Amino acid sequence: MQFQVYNTEGDVTSKIRVHDSVFKITPNDDVIHRAIVAEMTNARQGTRSTKTRSEVRGGGRKPWRQKGGGVARSGTIRSPLWRGGGIVFGPKPHNYRHRLPKKMKQLARRSVLSQRASQKEIYVIDQISFQEPKTRFFLAVLQKLGIEEKKVTFFPSKVDRNVILSARNLPNVLVVPAEQASTYDLLDCDVLLFDKAGIKKIVAQLTVR
């Protein structure tokens, strides 16, 4: 399979051949779903916590005598029935880690890339580099490619500070290093934009040999 390679002026300069095992397979929707669920689950911190009656401060003394007061008996002011008391079955720190087999994660990414390729939603640019960070520079590149109105995720081969600073003020643009691309990153946009070295990196990472 081949992709056209554009320059920053929006002109086609060459073509790049990629492996069919990455960009031309039958997508597996079930594996894509499982990968997305795993990634979203693993993003949870699980650090929320509440105090039980044994952890709330105070309440060591019985508030009043057991009988003769004309009110219900009570052993502590930190009972869950009292305001300021402990919480019954409240949330506690929890590990939400969900492990997915490596081959399944790779299949999910290959499936999404194949979907994108079949729908012509993948663009490859020769290289994007700026001498200084300017949002209008990055916007001009998108305009030349005709994708300035779409939600774009850019996958460069390496992190360029000027490129990141130029793109961060554009609400419809996200920059993710190619080698760190997740299934969610590949799916949560309208257009995938790779630089030439970036698409080679992800092909090398996902090619089935």
How high is the pLDDT of residue 10?
87
Decide: 142 and 25 in contact? Cβ < 8 Å: no
Domain ranges of the chain: 2-41+98-206, 45-95
Three-point CA angle 19, 150, 202, nearest 5° = 25
Q: Is residue 129 pLDDT above 90, yes or no?
A: no
Residue 98, amino acid: H
Write the DSSP symbol of residue 155: E
Longest dimension (CA), the chain: 94
Decide: 9 and 143 in contact? Cβ < 8 Å: no
Phi, psi of 153 (to 5 degrees): -115, 120
How high is the pLDDT of residue 48?
93
Phi, psi of 192 (to 5 degrees): -100, 125
How high is the pLDDT of residue 34?
96
Write the DSSP symbol of residue 8: T
Instruction: Specify whether domain 2-41+98-206 bears CATH 3.30.390.30.
Output: no
Q: Bridge partners of 15?
A: 4
Q: Which position has the token pair 């320059």? A: 7
Q: Is residue 204 pLDDT above 80, yes or no?
A: yes
Residue 168, amino acid: R
Nearest to 3 by CA among 173, 139, 126: 126
pLDDT tens-digit map of 30-80: 999 999 999 999 999 999 999 999 899 988 889 999 999 899 999 999 999
Decide: 77 and 63 in contact? Cβ < 8 Å: yes
How high is the pLDDT of residue 209?
62
pTM: 0.82
Tokens of 47: 């650090």
pLDDT tens-digit map of 72-125: 999 999 999 999 999 999 999 999 999 999 999 999 999 999 999 999 999 999
Q: Helix 102-118 crosses helix 29-42 at what angle (to 10 degrees)?
A: 120
pLDDT tens-digit map of 142-190: 999 999 999 999 999 988 899 999 999 999 999 999 999 999 999 999 9
How high is the pLDDT of residue 1?
84
Buried b or exposed e, range 6-39, using 16+ CB within 10 angstroms? bebeeeeeeebebeeebbebebbeebbebbbebb
